[in-house]
Amino acid sequence: MLKTNNLGYPRIGALRELKKANEAYWAKKISQDELLQAGRQIREGNWKTQQDAGIDLIPSNDFSFYDQVLDLTLTVGAIPARYQGFAVEGASSYNLDLYFAMARGFQQEGLDVTAMEMTKWFDTNYHYIVPEFVKDQQFRLTSEKIINEFNEAKQLGIQTKPVLIGPITYLLLGKEKEAGFNRIDLIDRLLPVYEEILGKLAAAGAQWIQLDEPFLALDIDEKTRELYQQVYSRLSAAAAGVNLVVATYFESLRENTKTALNLPVQALHVDLVRGEDQLDELLAGAPADLILSLGVVDGRNIWKNDYEASLRKINRAIEKRGADRVWIAPSSSLLHVPFDLDLEDNEQSLPAEVKNWLAFAKQKLQEVKDLAVLATGDADTAIAQRFAANKSAQQSRRTSSLIHREEVKARVSSITDEDAQRTSPFAARKAKQQEKFNLPAFATTTIGSFPQTRDVRKWRADLKKGAITQAEYDQLIAEETERTIRLQEELDIDVLVHGEFERNDMVEYFGEQLSGYAFTKNGWVQSYGSRCVKPPVIYGDVSRPSDMTVRWSAYAQTLTNRPVKGMLTGPVTILQWSFVRNDQPRSETTYQIALAILDEVQALEKAGIKIIQIDEPAIREGLPLRKADHKAYLDWAVRAFRVSSSNVDDDTQIHTHMCYSEFNDIIEHIAAMDADVITIETSRSQMELLDAFADFNYPNDIGPGVYDIHSPRVPSKEEMVKLLEKAKAVIPAGQLWVNPDCGLKTRAWPETKAALEAMVDAAKTLRGIAEAV
Q: Quick one: what does residue 448 bind among Zn ion, ligand GLN, none, with the CB cut-off 5 to 8 Å set by partner type?
A: ligand GLN
Residues 612-631: x where in contact with Zn ion by CB under 5 A, - otherwise, as a string:
-----x--------------
Rank residues 430 and 747 by Cβ distance to ligand GLN and give the closer one: 747
- Among residues 509, 405, 403, 401, the alpha carbon closest in space to that of 448 is found at 509
By the rule CB under 5 A, 762 interacts with Zn ion: no
Footprint of ligand GLN on 152-181 (CB under 6 A): none
Count of residues touching ligand GLN (by CB under 6 A): 13
Q: Quick one: what does residue 506 bind among ligand GLN, Zn ion, none, with the CB cut-off 5 to 8 Å set by partner type?
A: ligand GLN
Rank residues 13 and 451 by Cβ distance to ligand GLN and give the closer one: 451
CA angle 127, 132, 134 (to 5 degrees): 165
Minimum CB distance to ligand GLN, residue 318 (Å): 47
Rank residues 609 and 659 by Cβ distance to Zn ion and give the closer one: 659
Minimum CB distance to ligand GLN, residue 236 (Å): 46
Q: Quick one: what does residue 460 bind among Zn ion, ligand GLN, none, with the CB cut-off 5 to 8 Å set by partner type?
A: none
DSSP string computed for 595-632: HHHHHHHHHHHHTT--EEEEE-TTTGGG--SSGGGHHH
Report d(CA 149, CA 155) in Å as an integer.
10
By the rule CB under 6 A, 575 interacts with ligand GLN: no
Footprint of ligand GLN on 428-467 (CB under 6 A): 447-449
By the rule CB under 6 A, 745 interacts with ligand GLN: yes
Look at the alpha carbons of 590, 592, 596, 598 in this order and tell me if their dihedral is positive or negative: positive
Footprint of ligand GLN on 218-257 (CB under 6 A): none
By the rule CB under 6 A, 752 interacts with ligand GLN: no
Report d(CA 359, CA 352) in Å as an integer.
13
Residues in the chain: 773
Q: Quick one: what does residue 279 bind among ligand GLN, Zn ion, none, with the CB cut-off 5 to 8 Å set by partner type?
A: none
Residues 650-679: x where in contact with ligand GLN by CB under 6 A, - otherwise, as a string:
-------x-x--------------------
By the rule CB under 6 A, 617 interacts with ligand GLN: yes
Could you give the count of Cα atoms lying within 13 Å of 622 in the half-sphere of its Cβ?
Answer: 25
Minimum CB distance to ligand GLN, residue 344 (Å): 27
Look at the alpha carbons of 21, 27, 31, 36 in this order and tell me if their dihedral is positive or negative: positive
Q: Catalytic pick from 336, 498, 655, 710?
A: 710
Residues 727-756: x where in contact with Zn ion by CB under 5 A, - otherwise, as a string:
---------------x--------------
Rank residues 238 and 614 by Cβ distance to ligand GLN and give the closer one: 614
Rank residues 275 and 448 by Cβ distance to ligand GLN and give the closer one: 448
Q: Cβ–Cβ contacts within 10 Å for residue 319, how many?
A: 11
Look at the alpha carbons of 279, 280, 281, 283 in this order and tell me if their dihedral is positive or negative: positive
Among 132, 251, 306, 615, binds ligand GLN (CB under 6 A): 615
CA angle 275, 253, 633 (to 5 degrees): 60
Report d(CA 736, CA 141) in Å as an integer.
53
Rank residues 238 and 567 by Cβ distance to Zn ion and give the closer one: 567
By the rule CB under 6 A, 14 interacts with ligand GLN: no
Angle at which helices 17-26 and 96-104 cross, to 10°:
100
Report d(CA 321, CA 290) in Å as an integer.
9
Residue 53 makes CB contacts below 8 A (sequence gap 6+) with 362, 365, 366, 368, 369
By the rule CB under 6 A, 520 interacts with ligand GLN: no
Minimum CB distance to Zn ion, residue 644 (Å): 18
Report d(CA 436, CA 711) in Å as an integer.
36
Report d(CA 714, CA 675) in Å as an integer.
30
Point out which residues pair with 495 in neighbouring strands.
445
| 710: annotated active-site residue | yes
Report d(CA 10, CA 51) in Å as an integer.
15
Among 506, 721, 738, 759, binds ligand GLN (CB under 6 A): 506
Rank residues 125 and 310 by Cβ distance to ligand GLN and give the closer one: 125
Footprint of ligand GLN on 553-572 (CB under 6 A): 567
Point out which residues pair with 59 in neighbouring strands.
161
By the rule CB under 6 A, 759 interacts with ligand GLN: no
CA 79 to chain centre: 26
Q: Which residue is nearest to ligand GLN (CB)?
A: 743
Q: Quick one: what does residue 567 bind among ligand GLN, Zn ion, none, with the CB cut-off 5 to 8 Å set by partner type?
A: ligand GLN
Report d(CA 672, CA 176) in Å as an integer.
34
Three-state DSSP state, 13 = coil
Among 601, 659, 673, 738, binds Zn ion (CB under 5 A): 659
Three-state DSSP state, 677 = strand
Among 683, 743, 752, 763, binds ligand GLN (CB under 6 A): 743
By the rule CB under 6 A, 742 interacts with ligand GLN: yes
Q: Quick one: what does residue 619 bind among ligand GLN, Zn ion, none, with the CB cut-off 5 to 8 Å set by partner type?
A: none
Rank residues 535 and 743 by Cβ distance to ligand GLN and give the closer one: 743
The CA-atom distances, in angstroms, between 249 and each of 16, 50, 362, 699 are 26, 21, 20, 40
Rank residues 139 and 663 by Cβ distance to Zn ion and give the closer one: 663
Residues 745 and 449 sit within 8 Å (Cβ to Cβ): yes
- Residues forming the site for ligand GLN (CB under 6 A): 447-449, 500, 506, 567, 615, 617, 657, 659, 742-743, 745
| Chain positions contacting Zn ion, by CB under 5 A | 617, 659, 742
Catalytic residue annotation: 710
